[in-house]
Every structure is written in C-alpha cells, then in structure tokens.
A and B are shown apart, each in its own frame.
Chain A
Amino acid sequence: DARVTQTPRHKVTEMGQEVTMRCQPILGHNTVFWYRQTMMQGLELLAYFRNRAPLDDSGMPKDRFSAEMPDATLATLKIQPSEPRDSAVYFCASGRGTGENIQYFGAGTRLSVL
C-alpha cells in the first residue's frame, strides 16, 4: 500500500533550534508539496516541487525556512532558527504530476516550539 511517509510524527524543540522534517513521496510521483496547518490560517502551501525543482515557494518565510529535494525519494523542510509561531502541523503530499494530479498526504509532523 503506497503512502507518503513523514518523519518525525512529533517534534518538540526550543526556540532558536534547527528543525528538519523529512518526507518520502510515493514512488513514481514527481510533484511534492509542503503544507502548514494552523488553527488560525488553516492549510496553506509553503512549497511545491516538480521533478525535484522548486516551482513555488512563495508561501514560505525565506529568512528561516528552506525546502529541498536532494533526490527523488526525499524532500526536506528546515526551519532555522525556529520560533514559537512556527508551531503547527506540517504536511507533505505527493502526486503524479499529470491530469488530476491527486495529492496524497502524509500523516504530518506536529511541531511544537517552546
């Protein structure tokens, strides 16, 4: 049963620390998305990759956030330095990149920055 895998599921850290979240997209999917979910803002897109190239990261605070795809099986989202306002659930999703490009979501990483 193919699925998007995200690690860690939960992360508690102190303000100022670096946080790295990882995502393994479904094999064969060439589009990868990072979304952030908060009570106030709901679900919002942070970054979007196609064939490992970043196509849209306009939703991401550039001063502290960075997203990369070192290879087709791994996407990373880093926050450095982290702040309490970064506390949220971060979802990764992947899709085939054609037609409907249905996005399949991982279980998310719940980040708490103290």
Chain B
Amino acid sequence: AQTVTQSQPEMSVQEAETVTLSCTYDTSESDYYLFWYKQPPSRQMILVIRQEAYKQQNATENRFSVNFQKAAKSFSLKISDSQLGDAAMYFCAYRRESGGSNYKLTFGKGTLLTVNP
C-alpha cells in the first residue's frame, strides 16, 4: 500500500522569507501523481500544486514550487516570499495512475505552517 510521510508536524517562517515543507512517499508504481493541498482555518481544502511522476521538470505555480526527486521518492514544497495568507495546514497527497479505476488520494498527516509578521 502507498504511504505518504510528512516528517515536520509544524514549521514557521518570517513573512517575505522562503520555507520548504518535506514529503516522502512509498510506492511500487512508476506512474502516479503528487499533490500539495492547503487547508486554512476555514477548513476548505485548496489545491496548491501538482506533479506528474513522468515529468522530470518540477512544477511551479507563482510563489509555490516543488522539488520532485523520483528516485528518492521525495516531493518537497517551497514557498517563496511567504505571506500571512499562506498560514495553513499543508497536506502532501499521492494518487496512482491506474488507468481510471481508482483515483483515491492518500494523504500525509500534514504540516502546520505559521507565518510570522
């Protein structure tokens, strides 16, 4: 079974600085997708960024970027120029590429990010 591990229960960063959240996963699959979701205090789960395992290029969405190391099974999230609105719980998630039969997400336990003014 696939597992996702986020080793940092909590992280903090100063406003305008950069922070990296770690995520590792375990799978025997070669094709899969990886996601980072953000959950602010409002409880809404918001997709931040996604990565297809077959793509070597790291995904980027504005201030958010990932460092995807397939061989190491590592998928870290970098937030640049941190803003107060980035404060939230961040979840790393895995989904196998199963040809359409099973799209379920496997989540890590989350990292609580605090942004200090």
Asked if B100 and A42 sit within 8 Å, CB to CB, the answer is: no
Count: A-B pairs, CB below 8 Å:
53
Cβ-closest chain A residue relative to B93: A43
A103 to B47, CA, bound (A): 8
The interface bits of chain B over 73-107 (1 if a CB of A lies within 8 angstroms of the residue's CB, else 0) are 00000000000000000010001000011111101
CB contacts (< 8 Å) of B42 on chain A: these are 107
A97 and B43 in contact (CB under 8 A), knowing A42-B108, A43-B107, A103-B105?
no
List, sorted by A's number, 6 A–B pairs whose CB atoms are closer than 8 Å.
A33-B105, A35-B105, A45-B105, A91-B45, A105-B46, A110-B43
Tell me the dominant secondary structure on chain B's binding face: loop
Asked if B105 and A102 sit within 8 Å, CB to CB, the answer is: no
Tell me the dominant secondary structure on chain A's binding face: strand
* Minimum distance in angstroms from B76 CB to a CB of chain A: 19
Asked if B43 and A42 sit within 8 Å, CB to CB, the answer is: no
A89 to B43, CA, bound (A): 9
CB contacts (< 8 Å) of B37 on chain A: these are 105
Asked if A43 and B91 sit within 8 Å, CB to CB, the answer is: yes
Which single member of B35, B52, B104 contacts A33 (CB below 8 Å)?
Answer: B104
* Minimum distance in angstroms from B78 CB to a CB of chain A: 21
The interface bits of chain B over 32-55 (1 if a CB of A lies within 8 angstroms of the residue's CB, else 0) are 010101000011111100101000
